[in-house]
Amino acid sequence: MDEIFGKINSEINIKRYKREYMSHFEVLRDTIFTALKKNQTFAALYNGNYLRGSYADNLKVKYPNEYDLVFRLKLPEEKRILVVKDEKIPGNVKLDLSQVLHVIINQKQHVNTYKQLKKMVTSESLLSIQLLQSWLESCFTKALDDINKEIIYNDIKTTLSYSKQGPAHTISVKEPYMYSVDFVPGIVLISSKAILPSISKDWDAIPKPLKCIYSDTSFRASYDNIENEMIKNKNNLKNALRIIKKFRDIHTNMHNLKSYYIKTLFLWRASREPEKFWYQPIGFVVIQLFTDLNNSLEKCKLPFYWDPNLNLYEQIGESGLTDMRRCVQSKKKLLENYTRLKVKTEVDHFKVYKTFLTVMELKEHGLIKSSAVPEDKSPEKIRLNSSEPRRCIIQ
């Protein structure tokens, strides 16, 4: 099985596409921030940016067509921000700016910042997500107008489109590359303000709304830098994580399984396993994580790593969880049965490959020649009429 997963990993690795996409992305990113910083208040608050999510963790599958970028906003007198744990939404905090505003009202260098912050807080001096995002939306709209909604890369003009989705300000391009960038704001907070005792670095409060519970003043505590440390330099961890993401991507009834949910499973496993666990054969590691995923779906519960009281599956309906559970159980059984076989046929190998690869990818690897496929007499019929994601077929 390790040889099969080696081939699958080579198929889903983005290294062969990474540089050309990245060069274009860097021009887009720098052009946008240069335009945004023409706004004096934005320029005063802006504290750099970093990539987060699958690309930053080197977990992106196949094409680097989505970038999650956090742009950090550092408030003046940040030590005076009062961080309050949100008792109604586990993992979230509220930001009381009363002391900040009280101090900077008389500071000439913060005149514009004070005026803008004053507009973005509630009557209780809590930072408002809606008011913050409304201001940022106006900043992005003005910035894009200033550059005529286009950038130039290698003498080629690229048209940009803007949309607002959740916490992100999304900019999309279609030519010469097709990808999108989610610009997500993060309020910089010092380590001593963390609601967890183990945080030794600064962290971010992300204005990420929950579908099930809406609060205009509740920010998600984000510890990306610590998560990155937890999963790096662990041999087969990232290989296994990419493989499970690939499995998710090609089965349409797994679409509710967000990348961060998969990462969370690995964070929990990494926190309790010695480093040598990740040096075991990739096939063994993948099956272990399929087991973790299956167990979480059976319990209908995936605790947020930083606050177990938050169930990440809470936003997924019962039918969505049932669909995923059945799919995972079926493929977990297939992988376990494969490892038990003393003699493995081409059909056996093919079943594993097609659990993770699209039809087009199977053809590219010579696993399918034209319309010819290994004959499979099992109840599960092989469907090879599309390279698009397909519904998981339960045996």
Walking along the chain (395 residues) 10 residues at a time, the average pLDDT comes out as 85 66 92 97 97 63 79 96 93 96 95 97 97 98 97 92 93 90 96 86 88 84 90 90 92 92 96 94 95 96 93 90 95 94 92 90 76 46 41 49
Q: Are residues 171 and 304 in the same domain?
A: no
For residue 383, is it within any domain? Answer: no
Note the pLDDT of residue 125.
Answer: 97
Q: Are residues 287 and 182 in the same domain?
A: no
- In angstroms, rounded to a whole number, what is the distance separating the alpha carbons of residues 78 and 188? 8
Q: Are residues 102 and 181 in the same domain?
A: yes
Note the pLDDT of residue 16.
Answer: 55
Q: Are residues 166 and 91 in the same domain?
A: yes
Q: Are residues 160 and 38 in the same domain?
A: yes
For residue 389, is it within any domain? Answer: no
Q: How far apart are the first and last CA of the chain?
A: 20
Residue at a domain's end among 153, 188, 222: 222
**Residue 345: Cβ within 10 Å count:** 10
Q: Are residues 249 and 315 in the same domain?
A: yes
- Residue 285 belongs to domain spanning: 233-364
For residue 3, is it within any domain? Answer: no
Note the pLDDT of residue 60.
Answer: 55
For residue 379, is it within any domain? Answer: no
Q: Are residues 185 and 242 in the same domain?
A: no
Amino acid at residue number 61: V
For residue 7, is it within any domain? Answer: no
Phi-psi region of 58 (alpha: psi -120 to 50; beta: other; left: phi over 0): left
Q: Are residues 107 and 191 in the same domain?
A: yes
Cβ contact 10:364 at 8 Å: no
Note the pLDDT of residue 168.
Answer: 94
Q: Are residues 210 and 295 in the same domain?
A: no
Kindly report the pTM of this predicted structure: 0.84
For residue 388, is it within any domain? Answer: no
Note the pLDDT of residue 351.
Answer: 93
* Domain count along the chain: 2
Q: Are residues 68 and 186 in the same domain?
A: yes
CATH number for position 60: 3.30.460.90
Q: Are residues 29 and 161 in the same domain?
A: yes
For residue 306, is it within any domain? Answer: yes
Note the pLDDT of residue 131.
Answer: 97
For residue 369, is it within any domain? Answer: no
CATH number for position 340: 1.10.1410.40
Q: Are residues 136 and 190 in the same domain?
A: yes
